[in-house]
């Protein structure tokens, strides 16, 4: 009966996730963590078993979390800006991205089929390649224009929703493996890029074509094991082969291709007693799996061609450390730090006016309060410190600078059933 009751909020949360828009606190354009407990610990999660978000973190953890439902929503506020100096006076200017407040739901559920077997569902997203500049900051000779000499507003919006059914099995006491097939839906929109039509293989499919979507799939596998006070974890997520954005085949390399990169990681956690938990993760994100993301913007080929220019993002390493302290049976507090390599170099600043994913250092705090033995409220807050990259303009002379900072605040409700 309680399992049936749990299905109603899952359906509501899924509907919200499918219709929500926005960006996400980011390591590049991957979220810095999945699940409100992990967010409070800087995203550290590969070697922990704190909630039902194993489909986004480490599928093997689901064998240890019991029957539970986790529903959350968080407010995300990125501050993104761009500036050009040292060019012709009419081409110098600066702009702040307007869209800076988003509300993003998350949902996860886990059922124990047997004491050593679990079946779960995690719904999560990626984002962060999102900008919305007003336009009119410079004059390219034909009246007011946006920073890239196009008409009207300038920006892009990328949203990725991933549904991860998960199976986990304790093949030996305190030793688990898990697998999550990953089904992805993504949307993209670009506007204000008219000045680049002469460099496109398909100018009609470059900009201002509304929102386009594509689907694809992949998988995530994981291992987690407990050895006395230590728990270790490892996970690998495959590249997700996505369908093309046909409406933007004149922008993205390989005629509109935008695959989701593979990533993998290791984690270790130390829990000497029921009071303390310390966790550390390392993750590698292979942006080079997607030519649209990783191809240098200096590539000498038309936009949309097989080897056309991209955002020039490099593969990155991410490091996360989190601490949890249980004050008493009702209250638990958390803190964390997340450090990511910067995927963007000075060579590619011009293209990344559209996607200034340059933040590197995040700090987070959080807490949980047990309302009852089977119900809990969790909150988390995080701040990504401002970071900037400066480089020569590819098309307009002078130098360009992009910078970003971020804040998020989230709340989640968990139920054991």
What are 331-369's pLDDT values in tens digits?
999 999 999 999 999 999 999 999 999 999 999 999 999
pTM greater than 0.75: yes
pLDDT in tens, 125-148: 887 668 999 999 999 988 999 999
Number of Cβ within a 10 Å radius of residue 73: 18
The confidence score (pLDDT) of residue 24 equals 57
Quote the tokens at residue 408. Answer: 């998020």
For residue 275, give the DSSP letter.
S
- Give yes or no for residue 324 having a pLDDT over 50: yes
Report the share of the chain in percent with pLDDT over 90: 88
| Confidence bin at 1 (pLDDT 50/70/90) | very low
Query: What confidence category does residue 21 fall into, taking pLDDT thresholds of 50, 70 and 90?
Result: very low
| Per-position DSSP letters for 82-136, written without gaps between them | EEEESS-GGG-EEEE-S---EEEEEEEEEEEEETTEEEEEEEEEE---B--B-S-
Which residues make Cβ contacts (< 8 Å) with residue 219, sequence separation at least 6?
A: 179, 180, 181, 182, 237, 238
SS3 content of the chain, % helix, strand, coil (to 5): 15, 50, 35
Predicted pLDDT at 99: 84
Look at residue 168 in the predicted model and tell me its pLDDT.
98
Residue 224 confidence (pLDDT) above 80: yes
Please state the rounded mean pLDDT for residues 162-184. Answer: 98
User: Which token pair is 23?
Assistant: 């960006």
Which residues are registered as beta bridge partners of 280?
268, 321
Average pLDDT over residues 209-219: 97
290 in Cβ contact with 68 (< 8 Å): no
In the predicted structure, residue 25 carries a pLDDT above the cut 90: no
- What is the overall mean pLDDT for the chain? 93
What tens digit of pLDDT does each residue of 235-246 get? 999 999 999 999
Contact 211/185 with Cβ under 8 angstroms?
A: no
186, pLDDT greater than 90: yes
Predicted confidence (pLDDT) at residue 96 exceeds the cutoff of 90: yes
Cα–Cα distance measured from residue 161 to residue 165, given in angstroms and rounded to the nearest whole number: 13
DSSP per-residue codes, 311-373: --PPPEEEEEEEEEEE-SSSEEEEEEEEEE-----GGGTTGGGS------EEEEEEEEEEEET
For the segment 399-412, what is each residue's pLDDT rounded down to a tens digit? 999 999 999 999 99
pLDDT at 325 over 90: yes
> What distances in angstroms separate CA 44 from CA 70, 100, 176, 364, one per listed residue?
17, 26, 18, 11
User: Tell me, what's the pLDDT at 102?
Assistant: 87
| Domains of the chain in sequence order | 2-416 (2.40.160.60)
Alpha-carbon distance values, 310 to 108, 143, 155 (Å): 34, 28, 15
State pLDDT tens for residues 256-270.
999 999 999 999 999
Output the pLDDT for position 29: 86
Coil, strand or helix at 204: helix
In whole angstroms, what is the distance from residue 165 CA to residue 82 CA? 40
Highest-pLDDT range among 6-15, 72-81, 318-327:
318-327
Q: What is the pLDDT of residue 7?
A: 58
**What is the model's pLDDT at position 251?**
97
pLDDT above 70 covers a percentage of the chain that reads: 94
Report which of 189, 54, 188, 211 is spatially closest to residue 120, judged by C-alpha positions: 54
């Amino acid at each position: 009966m309680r399992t049936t009751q749990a299905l109603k909020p899952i359906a509501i949360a899924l509907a919200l996730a499918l219709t929500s828009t926005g960006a996400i606190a980011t390591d590049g354009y991957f979220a810095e963590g999945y699940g409100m407990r992990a967010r409070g610990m800087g995203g550290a999660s590969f070697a922990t078993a704190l909630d039902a978000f194993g489909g986004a973190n480490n599928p093997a953890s689901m064998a240890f979390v019991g029957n539970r439902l986790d529903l959350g929503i968080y407010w995300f506020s990125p501050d993104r800006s761009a500036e050009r100096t040292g060019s012709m006076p009419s081409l110098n200017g600066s702009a702040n991205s307007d869209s800076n407040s988003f509300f993003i739901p998350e949902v996860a559920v886990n059922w124990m089929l047997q004491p050593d077997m679990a079946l779960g569902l995690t719904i999560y997203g990626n984002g962060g390649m999102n900008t919305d500049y007003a336009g009119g900051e410079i004059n390219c000779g034909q009246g007011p224009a946006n920073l890239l000499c196009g008409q009207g507003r300038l920006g892009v919006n990328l949203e990725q929703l991933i549904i991860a059914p998960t199976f986990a099995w304790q093949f030996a006491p305190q030793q688990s493996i898990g697998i999550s097939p990953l089904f992805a839906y993504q949307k993209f929109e670009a506007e204000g890029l008219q000045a680049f039509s002469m460099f496109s293989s398909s100018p009609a499919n470059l900009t201002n074509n509304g929102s386009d979507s594509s689907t694809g799939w992949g998988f995530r596998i994981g291992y987690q094991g407990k050895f006395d006070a230590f728990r270790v974890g490892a996970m690998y997520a495959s590249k997700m082969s996505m369908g093309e954005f046909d409406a933007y085949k004149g922008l993205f390399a390989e005629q509109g291709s935008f695959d989701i990169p593979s990533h993998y990681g290791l984690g270790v956690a130390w829990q000497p007693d029921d009071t303390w938990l310390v966790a550390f993760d390392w993750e590698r994100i292979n942006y080079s799996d997607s030519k649209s993301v990783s191809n240098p913007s200096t590539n000498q080929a038309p936009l949309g061609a097989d080897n056309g220019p991209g955002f020039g993002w490099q593969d990155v390493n991410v490091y996360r450390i989190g601490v949890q302290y249980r004050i008493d049976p009702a209250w638990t507090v958390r803190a964390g730090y997340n450090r990511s390599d910067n995927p963007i170099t000075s060579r590619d600043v011009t293209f990344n006016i559209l996607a200034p994913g340059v933040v590197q250092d995040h700090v987070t705090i959080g807490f949980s309060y047990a309302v009852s033995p089977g119900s809990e409220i969790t909150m988390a807050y995080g701040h990504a410190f401002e970071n900037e990259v400066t480089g020569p303009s590819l098309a307009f002379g002078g130098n360009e600078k992009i910078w970003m900072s971020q804040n998020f605040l989230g709340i989640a409700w968990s139920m054991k059933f």
